[in-house]
Structure 1
Amino acid sequence: MIGRILSLTVAAMIGLSAEAGAQGRDVEVYYDRYGREVLVDVYTGEVIEVREPRGSVRRYGEQRPRREDRGQDRYYLDDPEDVARLRREQRREELGRDGYSYRERFPEYDDYRVEPDYRRDDGYGGGFRDQPTYEPPYQGENRFEPGGIERAPLGDPSGDSSIAAIPGPDAPQDGVIIEDQSPTAVPDINNVPNVAHRGATEEVAKIQILLDRAGASPGVIDGRMGDNVNKAISAYRDLTGQALRTYDTAFIDEQLAATGGDPFQTYEITALDVAGPFVASIPSDYGEKAKLERMSFTSVVEMLAERFHMDERYLRDLNPGVSFDRPGTRLRVVNVPRVRKGEVMRIIADKGRRQVRTYDAAGKLLAIYPSTIGSAATPSPTGTHTVKRVAINPEYTYNPKINFQQGNNTRILTIPPGPNGPVGTVWVGLSKPTYGIHGTPEPSKIGKTESNGCIRLTNWDAQELAKMVKVGATVEFVD
C-alpha cells in the first residue's frame, strides 16, 4: 500500500539520454506491478517513459534500515493526504535524505523494483513486531513504541462482563441497482444500466451507505441484504434514536442528503493509483508469505474497493467494461462517510451477534462494527480486558509453538506488513497477551467466517476504531 514515488529533475538525477523534451522536466517516478519505472510529468500527468526492470528483486528481510522514530507522525490509509505524505516520507528515507547520500546507501539502484505478493489469510496469532507502532497514552496523544505479543492460554474471566441484551435485526428489504457506462466518460450516477440480475440493488446499496455514515457499519457495501446489514439496521435505532424505514425510499434519500449528499460519486483513476505497488497474488503458505517485501494489494480494483468500502465484484458491476489500469478512467463509487470522531473508552465484543459496539466515557454509543470473533477450535477470551497499544501497518510474527501450526511451517516467521497480511492494516493489542482487534485481508468474509481468537474487522473499520480508541479502554467479551 505504500507507493514508491520520486520527484526529481530528469536531466540531473535519472539521466534520460536522448529525449530533449524530457530534459529538465520535473517528473514523478513510479514502479508498476511489473517492476518497471514509469516516468510521469508532474504538471501534465503525461507518461514520459516506461523502463523495463534491471537487476534482482530485493526480499523483505534485505530492506535497508529506516529511521527508527517518526516522532508524533500518524498515517491513516483512508486519508489520501496521509497516504501521499507517508509515500513522500518513506521515499525520502529510501533515498538516504536523512543524513546519507543516495549512492552511499543504495549503490544498486536496480534492486528497488520489487513488487510483493499477498492476499488471503485465515490464521494469525503468533508474536508480533509492529511497524510503525504507537501506544496512545490514556486519553492523550499517541506516541510510537515497539512491542511484542505471545499467545497465552485463556484464563478465568476478569471483571464484569454483564451487559444489556442487544435487540434483534429487522427484516431484510429488496430493491433495484445501477451501473456505469463507458470506461472514460463521466458516469451519470442517475442514469446507469440495471444489474439487478446480479443480485445487487441500488436501494440496498443506499441503505448500506446510510448505515455506514451513521456509524452502523454494514461491512462491505455490495448492494445485497444479509446478516451484517440486518444487524446494522437494528443498531441504527440505538445510534440515532429512530428506526430506519428501509421500505421508504424518500426517507432514505432525505437521510442521505442530510448526512453527506449523493450516495455515489465519480472518481477518476490517477497515475498514482495505477503505480501501486501491487503483487500478482498472495500465497496461502506462511513460509512463502514471509519471503515477500509487503503484503500489498493485488490490483487497482482491490485497492479502490477497500478505499470506498466496497465489494470488489460490486465495484466491477457498477463500472462494466472500464479499464481500471488506465489513469483518467472515471468510475462510479460510493460516497464514503467522513472520518468519525470521539474517544472510545469501552468496547463490547458480542460473540453471539458477531458485532463490536464502542462507547465513550459517558456511555454514549459511538459506532458499531460487524466482526469475526474466535471459533470453537480457537476461542476468544472471556471477561473484561483493556487496550494496551495500537499499531498501524504491523508486521506479523508466526510462532507455531505458541498457538497453531500452518501447513509444514515449524519455525518462527515474520510476515511483512500490508493490507493483505494476516491482521490487515491495524492491530489494537489487549492486556490478554497475543489477543487483539485487527483488520483483515478478506473484508467480504467479516461476520461470516471464524478467527483464531481475536476480533477481526474490515480494514477501514479497524482504522476508524484505531483513531478513536484510547489506552485503558475496556474490552468486554460477551456471549
Structure 2
Amino acid sequence: MRKKVLGAAACLALISVTPLAAQPEAKASKAKPAIDYTVMHAQVILDSLGFSPGIVDGREGQSLTAALKGFQSARGLTTSGKLDKATLSALHPYRARRPVVRVALDAAMLRGPYVNPMPDKPEDQAMLASLGYARPLEKLAEMFHTTPELLVELNPGGGSIASGAAFLFPNVVPEAREYASDLKPEWRQTLADLNVNGTQPAGERIVVDKSEKVLKVFDKDDKLVAQFSASMGSQHDPLPLGTWKINVVDTNPKFHFNPDLFWDSKPGDEKTLLPAGPNGPVGVVWLDLSKEHYGIHGTPEPQNIGRTQSHGCIRLTNWDAARLALMVKAGTEALFQE
C-alpha cells in the first residue's frame, strides 16, 4: 500500500547512482537497517510541509514519529505516529516530490571556509575567523538535511566531490529561494546553503513541549503550522517552564562563552567571544528569550537533536532553526511546558 501511494521504489529503479567520495567519518554503519525509500519519501514530504523529521535518512525513529503526529494533528487525523492508511492518503497529494534528487555540484555549494580540525578549547576557537564545517561533505549533508553517512549510502562506490559532479540527495530542495530583501546578504546565503524555503508561515506563538521533545509553531488562528524536533534541558539545567517572549532574532551569531554558565566547563576555561559559523555552539541562529541566558538555537550536531540533553536552552537542527527564524519575530510568545 505504501509503495503504491508514495511510489518510492518505482522511482528509484529508474535513477542511476553516481558514486560519492567516501570519507573516513562517513562510512555507512553495518548495524543500520537498509534505507527504506517509502520512509524517506514520507520524510522529504513532511520536511517540505514544515513538520520536520529531523535527519532525513530513510529510517523510522522517534523524530519521524513526532513529525507524523504533528502532521496528523494539523490534518485532524488520529495521531498514531505511523504511516497508516489515513496518513498515506493525506500525503498522497504531495507525491510528486520524489524521495531523492540528482544534483550537480557548483562552486557555491562547495565554498567554505572549512575548519579541520576544530580546536577543543574555546580560547583557541576564538582565534579562528569562522566556526565552519569540517569539509564539503559535512556542508552538503546539512544542505540536504541529512548526514554524511547517508550521502555515502545513497552514492556508493567513491568518487570525487568537485564542481560539476552530480550525486543523489534527499529531495529537500525548496520550492522558492526568494528571501526578503531586508535580510542581511550573509543570512540569505545561509538560508540558501541550508535549502530553506523562502516562503514560511507566520508564527503567532510557539510551544516547546518537553514530553514530546518538539517545538510547535501556531499561527494567528491557533492552527499548528510547523513542528520541529528539539533537545531541551537536562538534570543540571532543566527547561525553564512558563511563558516567555522572543527578544531578538540573531542570525549567524557570535557566541559569548562564559564558563560560569556551564556546569561541565573545564578548569581554566575563560570568558571569550567565539566567531560565527554553523559548527559554533549555537549554530546559525540564536533566538534570545526573555528568560535571561536562555534561547532557541541551532547546533553543530544535528544527528543528536531529540536524543541528547542541553544546557537548558532549546536546540534545533540548523535548517530547522533557520526556518523558525523566518516564522517568528521579536515579541513572539514562547510557552515551555511539560
Shorter-chain TM-score range: 0.7 to 0.9
Tell me the distance in 1 between the aligned counterparts of 2:301 and 2:82. Answer: 30
Secondary structure class of the residue paired with 1:401: helix
Change (3 A) 1:223 1:284: farther
Residues 139-185 of structure 1, C-alpha deviation per residue, up to 9 Å, x if partnerless?
xxxxxxxxxxxxxxxxxxxxxxxxxxxxxxxxxxxx9888963349x
Counterpart contact for 1:396–1:423, Cα < 8 Å = yes
Counterpart contact for 2:205–2:333, Cα < 8 Å = yes
Secondary structure class of the residue paired with 1:272: helix
> Is residue 436 of structure 1 aligned with residue 271 of structure 2?
no
> Is residue 347 of structure 1 aligned with residue 206 of structure 2?
yes
Give 1:239's aligned amino acid.
Answer: A
Among candidates 299, 305, 315, match of residue 141 of structure 2? 305
Tell me the distance in 2 between the aligned counterparts of 1:352 and 1:218. Answer: 17
Secondary structure class of the residue paired with 2:269: coil
Tell me the distance in 1 between the aligned counterparts of 2:230 and 2:62. Answer: 11
Residues 336-366 of structure 1, C-alpha deviation per residue, up to 9 Å, x if partnerless?
1442522212111111211111111221111
TM-score (norm 1): 0.57
1:235 aligned partner: 70
1:332 aligned partner: 168
Secondary structure class of the residue paired with 1:427: strand
Tell me the distance in 2 between the aligned counterparts of 1:230 and 1:414. Answer: 38
Change (3 A) 1:403 1:253: closer
The Cα of 1:252 is off from its aligned counterpart by: 7.9
> Equivalent residues in 2 for 1:61-210 (5 A)?
181-183=17-19, 198-210=33-45
Counterpart contact for 2:123–2:270, Cα < 8 Å = no
The Cα of 1:250 is off from its aligned counterpart by: 7.5
Change (3 A) 1:255 1:412: same
TM-score (norm 2): 0.79
> Is residue 254 of structure 1 aligned with residue 89 of structure 2?
no
Counterpart contact for 1:180–1:319, Cα < 8 Å = no
> Equivalent residues in 2 for 1:358-369 (5 A)?
358-369=217-228
Residues 24-46 of structure 1, C-alpha deviation per residue, up to 9 Å, x if partnerless?
xxxxxxxxxxxxxxxxxxxxxxx
Give 1:287's aligned amino acid.
Answer: E
Tell me the distance in 2 between the aligned counterparts of 1:400 and 1:197. Answer: 37
2:188 aligned partner: none
The Cα of 1:242 is off from its aligned counterpart by: 3.9
Secondary structure class of the residue paired with 1:471: coil
1:454 aligned partner: 313
> Equivalent residues in 2 for 1:3-18 (5 A)?
none
Residues 249-277 of structure 1, C-alpha deviation per residue, up to 9 Å, x if partnerless?
984873333xx532221111113333422
1:411 aligned partner: 270
1:473 aligned partner: 332
Asked which structure has the greater CA Rg, the reply is 1
The Cα of 1:403 is off from its aligned counterpart by: 4.2
Among candidates 233, 256, 273, match of residue 374 of structure 1? 233
Secondary structure class of the residue paired with 1:470: coil
The Cα of 1:245 is off from its aligned counterpart by: 6.9
Among candidates 127, 131, 138, match of residue 291 of structure 1? 127
Give 1:241's aligned amino acid.
Answer: G
Counterpart contact for 1:256–1:262, Cα < 8 Å = no
2:247 aligned partner: 388
Give 2:56's aligned amino acid.
Answer: I
Among candidates 49, 57, 61, match of residue 222 of structure 1? 57
Tell me the distance in 1 between the aligned counterparts of 2:89 and 2:160. Answer: 34
Change (3 A) 1:253 1:319: farther
Residues 194-245 of structure 1, C-alpha deviation per residue, up to 9 Å, x if partnerless?
x997432111111211221222111010111111111111111122234687
Secondary structure class of the residue paired with 1:472: coil
Give 1:218's aligned amino acid.
Answer: P
Counterpart contact for 2:68–2:82, Cα < 8 Å = no
Give 1:352's aligned amino acid.
Answer: S
> Identity of paired residues, percent?
35
Tell me the distance in 1 between the aligned counterparts of 2:168 and 2:253. Answer: 32
Counterpart contact for 1:180–1:320, Cα < 8 Å = no
1:270 aligned partner: 106
The count of corresponding residues between Structure 1 and Structure 2 is: 293
Counterpart contact for 1:245–1:252, Cα < 8 Å = no
Residues 75-132 of structure 1, C-alpha deviation per residue, up to 9 Å, x if partnerless?
xxxxxxxxxxxxxxxxxxxxxxxxxxxxxxxxxxxxxxxxxxxxxxxxxxxxxxxxxx
The Cα of 1:472 is off from its aligned counterpart by: 1.2
Secondary structure class of the residue paired with 1:390: strand
Tell me the distance in 2 between the aligned counterparts of 1:345 and 1:247. Answer: 31
Give 2:258's aligned amino acid.
Answer: N
| Structure 2, unaligned runs of 5 or more | 1-7, 21-29, 176-196
Counterpart contact for 1:390–1:429, Cα < 8 Å = yes
Counterpart contact for 2:53–2:64, Cα < 8 Å = yes
Secondary structure class of the residue paired with 1:344: coil
Tell me the distance in 1 between the aligned counterparts of 2:16 and 2:237. Answer: 43
> Is residue 213 of structure 1 aligned with residue 25 of structure 2?
no
Give 1:210's aligned amino acid.
Answer: I
Residues 270-326 of structure 1, C-alpha deviation per residue, up to 9 Å, x if partnerless?
133334221222233323222221110111111111111112211111011343532
Point out 4+ residue stretches in structure 1 off by more than 4 angstroms: 175-180, 195-198, 247-253
